Amino acid sequence: MIFALLSAFMFAFSNILWKQKLIVVGTNTLISYRAIFTSTIAIVLTVILCEPFTFKAMDFIKITSGSILGFIGLWCMLVVIRNTSLQWLAVYSLAGVVFNAVYLIVFESYDLTSLILGGIFIVFGFIHFALNQQKSGKSISLRNHLILLVMTISFCLSSIIHWKNLCSDISPLVIISNQETIVLFISTLGVIIQRKKNDYIQEFNKHYKSTFFMAIILVLALLFSLIGLKKTNPLTMSLVVLISPILTLILNSILLKDRISPACILSVIIILSGSILLAIS
């Protein structure tokens, strides 16, 4: 459970970094910049830390399909947070919990009774947070709702596929290396199609230091997330990661001096209580 909570914290920190950089850098360009560093870091760690391994063609297809879905989810997330409040990521995170629960019950015949009490605490704390955020009156367009729905489905399917890969003893570092290499290829291709090659190099020289720092945070977030996923299941991970949007607001308050409401703090306490119940169950 500690890895799940660490990944939630790292993703929350990452969300703030994304939001800040998207103000000055295009979506595809920023994804490509970070993927240069994340793919390099992941590949180097894989070579150093992982024992020699061989791939079956089917293993490669499964890892790659999960990685592509992860990229689609990431792209959708960045399109939305570029133009809207981070609170909507929180709202659609709950839909991801429902998706994962339905999958485990229908297709994996999972007994989820041990997760009920902790899950109730987490969902209640999350709903408390979402309702208080809704009072701010920050609405979004139907287009952005559809993009968020695609994001949720993509992240859930990616999580399920990688869970299966991890259960087959495929190293988290191998999965991250594959995913970030694919992200680098697709995002850079997007930059080329948009004919922004000259701007790409100039912008990189301006932002490479901050992007490198972002990449370190993201690699840690992905690594902790996959380790947590391997030790639990997609539903438990999606429940615990519900705290990430709330942590994002708290970190935003600390780092950017934005005011945080008592309701947000109460939501964190409730969700952390639920996480503890999940851990001891």
For the chain, 281 residues long, give each residue's pLDDT as a single digit of tens: 688 888 888 888 888 887 778 777 777 788 888 899 999 999 999 999 887 767 778 888 999 999 999 999 988 888 887 766 666 676 677 778 778 888 888 888 877 777 778 778 877 877 777 677 665 555 667 788 888 889 989 999 999 999 999 988 889 999 999 999 999 998 888 888 876 666 777 777 777 888 899 899 999 999 999 999 998 888 888 877 777 777 777 777 776 665 666 776 777 777 777 767 766 66
Q: What angle do CA 67, 34, 222 make, to 5 degrees?
A: 45
Q: Which long-range contacts (CB under 8 A, 24 or more apart) does 57-64 make?
A: 59/165, 59/168, 59/170, 60/178, 62/161, 62/164, 62/165, 63/162, 63/165, 63/170, 63/174, 63/175, 63/178, 63/179, 64/178, 64/182
pTM of the model: 0.81
Task: Find all residues with CB under 8 Å of 266, minimum gap 6, and list them.
Answer: 125, 128
Indicate if the alpha-carbon torsion angle 273, 274, 279, 281 is positive or negative: positive
Among candidates 180, 181, 169, which has minimal Cα distance to 222? 180
